[in-house]
Chains A and B, each alone.
Chain A
Amino acid sequence: MKSLTALIMLTLLITLSACTTTTVDEYRENSTALTLASGERVVVLGRRHYADYETEPDFIDCIGEKLKADKEILVLPEKEFVDLLYPWFEPRTAPLGLKRLAKMLDEPMIAQRFKEQGLHYMIWIDGSTETTDRDGSVSCAVGPGGGGCFGFATWEKTGTYEAIIWDLQTLKESGRVKVEARGSSYMVAIILPIPIVAQVQDQACDGIGLQLRTFFMGNRAGEAS
């Protein structure tokens, strides 16, 4: 009984320590909140042109969900936008800067498509979540009498992302949010492996999503009241 209590205590201790720390930095062009007229939308896009990593599509979806959580901000899904503008927002062709976007919008056909979709802001997300450290090991074996695992492993994940907001009407940058989330995960194996996984990407999404909302919600909240 005592050993069972000790085991539960140990598991709880490890669970508590498998947390994530998140640091959020932001930069605003000015203190006024970003406005969205009725029917205007925001699109969140991931950078995919680097050779060794790409911003995860599920991370982009997660930020979209955070932005439209209270239905105040309308978000055009990334996939839908990229298909509507094909082939101008593929990794090969997507504009890396505002000058290139401005040139792209000189093409009436592209500008018209933006207008039809009611797009006012474009948010680019660049970054990824990587495993930065790994230690320990877990071994498993199976024999005629049964099987099991034994060992202890730990790994650390770091998610670093930057969001850049482009105003599509003024063709100027409206602000930036940078987030870094770190978390250690554990795997304890005493016959059965018990993984205790830190939700690094989810935490980074929470951090960046909630911060991005503050860029828009100031004025929206003001209008509502």
Chain B
Amino acid sequence: MHTRNLIACALVLVSLLVSACATRVEVDGNFPAALTHKLPLRSVVVFDEAFASHRFESTQGPEVSVFVGQIQVELFTGLADSLFQYSSTSTKMPTNSEADLILVPNVEDVQISMPNESQLKVFEVWIKYNLQVFKPTGEPVADWIMTAYGKTPTRFLKSNTDALQQASMVAMRDAGAHFITGFARVPEIQQWLRHRSTSTSESSGSTPL
């Protein structure tokens, strides 16, 4: 019995030590409304399960786990509200949608750099998004590869968790800046917008927003 207790204690101690070495971050925060002109469009943003529960995990070197799923759903919901006249969200690709376009954001890659790896005194976070844009019929309009970058300097007595949380928030804001300033400049989207405005002005029955 005594040996059993000793083993249990040792196991608890070892697991505590192992978890003390790991960095687990659940990114949370708020984003301001974007100061931009609204495009006269109705949009649906589709957040699939993989996107809404995305977690970056690295086991090379010290274990790092960063959960960005929820915060990026909040980010893209807010961005769509700011950029489009009307916007809604869905967890599935809509059929027979009344929207003008459907946006499906996907996370292609997440990379994290810690000061002990880069020899720089900054924590860095890169996120590569693939923003797929579809017509309501499901026909693709564009595959926009959108990168976001955030960094935060190391600070005395600042934990890795706090630093990664901060760097991730900077990266998210950067993604927002890229989305707002770049959406209408993506050549395929630009072409679609031009074509749409021509066709809506030509067709007498349609009611453009």
Q: How large is the interface on A (under 10, 10 to 19, 20 to 34, 35 or more residues)?
A: 20 to 34
With a cutoff of 8 Å between Cβ atoms, the chain B residues found around residue A56 in the complex are 153
Q: Are A90 and B35 in contact (CB-based, < 8 A)?
A: no
On chain B, the residues within 8 Å of A87 by CB distance are 34-36, 173, 176-177, 180-181
Which residue of the partner chain A has the closest CB to B120? A52
Given A86-B32, A86-B34: A52 in contact with B122 (beta carbons within 8 A): yes
Q: A53-B153, A109-B37 are in contact. Are A86 and B120 (CB under 8 A)?
A: no
Q: With the chains together, A29 CA to B177 CA distance in Å?
A: 34
Of the listed residues A51, A54, A83, A87, the one surrounded by the most CB atoms of chain B closer than 10 A to its CB is: A87
Interface 1/0 per residue, A63-90 and B, CB below 8 Å:
0000000000000000000011111101
> Is A100 close to B, CB under 8 A?
no
- Known contacts A86-B35, A88-B35; A54/B176 CB under 8 A: no
Say whether A93 faces chain B, with CB atoms less than 8 Å apart. yes
Interface of A is mostly: loop
Closest chain A residue to B31, Cβ basis:
A86
Tally of B interface residues using CB under 8 Å:
21
Q: Mark B31-44, 1 if CB is under 8 A from A, else 0.
A: 11111110000000
Is A86 a contact partner of B122 (Cβ separation < 8 A)? no
A113 contacts across to B, CB distance below 8 A:
35
Whether, in the assembled complex, B92 has its beta carbon less than 8 Å from a beta carbon of chain A, the answer is no
Asked if A90 and B173 make an inter-chain contact with CB atoms under 8 angstroms apart, the answer reads yes
A-B contact pairs, 23 of them (CB 8 A): A51-B151, A53-B121, A53-B122, A53-B153, A54-B152, A83-B32, A84-B35, A86-B31, A86-B34, A86-B35, A86-B176, A87-B34, A87-B180, A90-B173, A90-B174, A91-B170, A91-B174, A93-B177, A93-B181, A109-B36, A109-B37, A110-B35, A128-B153
